[in-house]
Amino acid sequence: MKGGFRVKRPDWSQIHRDASFRAYTPILALLSLIYSGGIHLRDQAYRHQLMKGRALPGLVVSVGNLTVGGTGKTPAIITLAQWAVRQGYRTVILSRGYGGKRQKLPLTVSDGSDTSVTGDEPYLLANALPGIPVVVFRKRYQAGLYAKKRFGTDLFLLDDGFQHLELKRDMDIVLVDAVRPFGNGHLLPWGPLREPVDTLNRADAIVLTRYEEGDAAEETAASLKQRFPSIPLFYANHRPREVVFSNRSGTQSPACLKFIRVAAFAGIAHPGVFRKTLENIGAHVVAFRQFRDHHRYTRHDIESLDQMKTDAGAALLLTTEKDWARISKIVPAHVDIAYLTIEFSFLPNSDEFFRMFRDGLKKP
């Protein structure tokens, strides 16, 4: 309220990385314990069939994770959906539309949809996958029946579905960040874990994302191999694909940023990863501003960022594709801004992964 006190929202991404004891730690630890109890009761209910998963009329593949945000599900789902269509599957993506408004009926997302209604990820998926339906609805069983009736779907890709036990699935693929696998190791809200790490035993495959040679990534891989020896482990990275300019036609290779002074910003789970990506390309990041994940930008934010660019003497204002989805409709015409797109690639065992994927879909 103007003239009043503003309560500062907690930076959960920072809290979830912090292993130190803070004044708020006992409260979060208590809430985490209560959350853990709820997770245990849910799991027991499904295990003893007090609650039963429902089967959709087709193959169901879940792509999910154990933590809140930051593992790169969207590029991974794009890669899997493109592969499935090439194999002849009538594919649809089912999403709950995190961050979007709840609707009473399933919604088919298009590249012209409003992210405030659909959520960021479904918008990006629809934009990147023309011809592949993206259906948003909180009740994903009903969304699947809707997709079957409307599109004749025979393969359902469940976006962020590892914890969605209501749906039976033919395969569970779980993404784990190679460098920041489980944050501070605690369950929500004290840490980023949605479930205990041991629930990875439900997975059919684990994919280490943003994998690069280094002690942290190798330590994560070794730990997972030791703890879950029977679950196939794959490695993948997120690579810059192209730079898209808002006020110019066409796109350019990320190499066009080399030696260029850029002012950048990001409102994603790990903004520092975006900055590092730009620096690895060779861009000279002279100013950088980070926002909370899923930040809802205002026109004032954009004007302020444009001023940051001017003050820093930068040649370009740059952001992520996910942030662009949220700001594309409010960017003034005079603001020269570009966004970087990312592609998902397996290292180096893509043939082995897709062989496993294909064989999993053939299970009786």
| Domain assignment present for 217 | yes
More confident residue, 162 or 70: 162
CA gap 291, 269 in Å, rounded: 9
288: phi then psi, degrees, rounded to nearest 5: -150, 135
More confident residue, 102 or 306: 306
149, 279: one domain = no
264, 224: one domain = no
What pLDDT, on the 0 to 100 scale, is given for residue 165?
95
Please write down the HEC assignment for all residues of 3-18.
Answer: CCCCCCCCCHHHHHHC
Picking from 343, 225, 347, 348, the residue whose alpha carbon sits closest to that of residue 277 is 343
Q: Average pLDDT of 105-128?
A: 80
What pLDDT, on the 0 to 100 scale, is given for residue 111?
56
User: What is the number of domains present in the chain?
Assistant: 2
| Domain assignment present for 116 | yes
Q: How many CA atoms lie within 13 A of 231 on its CB side?
A: 25
35 neighbors 48 (Cβ within 8 angstroms): no
Q: Average pLDDT of 83-89?
A: 95
What pLDDT, on the 0 to 100 scale, is given for residue 316?
95
| Domain assignment present for 50 | no
pLDDT band at 293 (very low <50, low <70, confident <90, very high): confident
| Domain assignment present for 4 | no
Domain that holds residue 73: 59-231
231, 266, 290 — which closes off a domain? 231
DSSP run (H or E) holding 317: strand 316-320
CA gap 201, 85 in Å, rounded: 29
Q: Average pLDDT of 83-98?
A: 93
110, 93: one domain = yes
194, 308: one domain = no
Q: Average pLDDT of 148-167?
A: 96
CA gap 199, 182 in Å, rounded: 13
In this structure, the dihedral spanned by the alpha carbons of residues 82, 87, 92 and 93, taken in order and rounded to 10 degrees, is -50
207, 243: one domain = no
At 290, which CATH number? 3.40.50
Percent of the chain with pLDDT over 70: 94
Q: How many CA atoms lie within 13 A of 307 on its CB side?
A: 6
70, 216: one domain = yes
90, 218: one domain = yes
| Domain assignment present for 364 | no
- Whole-number mean pLDDT of the chain? 91
115, 167: one domain = yes
90, 181: one domain = yes
| Domain assignment present for 1 | no
Bridge partners for 209 per DSSP: 177
267, 210: one domain = no
Q: pTM of the predicted model, to two decimals?
A: 0.92
231, 261, 292 — which closes off a domain? 231
DSSP state of 61: E
pLDDT band at 17 (very low <50, low <70, confident <90, very high): confident
Residue 364 pLDDT more than 60?
A: no
The residue behind tokens 């879950």 is 228
| Domain assignment present for 184 | yes
79, 212: one domain = yes
Q: Rounded to a whole number, what is the largest CA-CA distance in the chain?
A: 65
| Domain assignment present for 6 | no
CA gap 160, 272 in Å, rounded: 23
At 115, which CATH number? 3.40.50.300
Q: What is the pLDDT of residues 242-288, one digit of tens each?
A: 999 988 777 999 999 999 999 999 999 889 999 999 999 999 999 99
Q: What is the pLDDT of residues 197-227, one digit of tens each?
A: 999 999 999 999 989 867 889 999 999 999 9
153, 275: one domain = no
The residue behind tokens 């662009």 is 324
275 neighbors 320 (Cβ within 8 angstroms): no
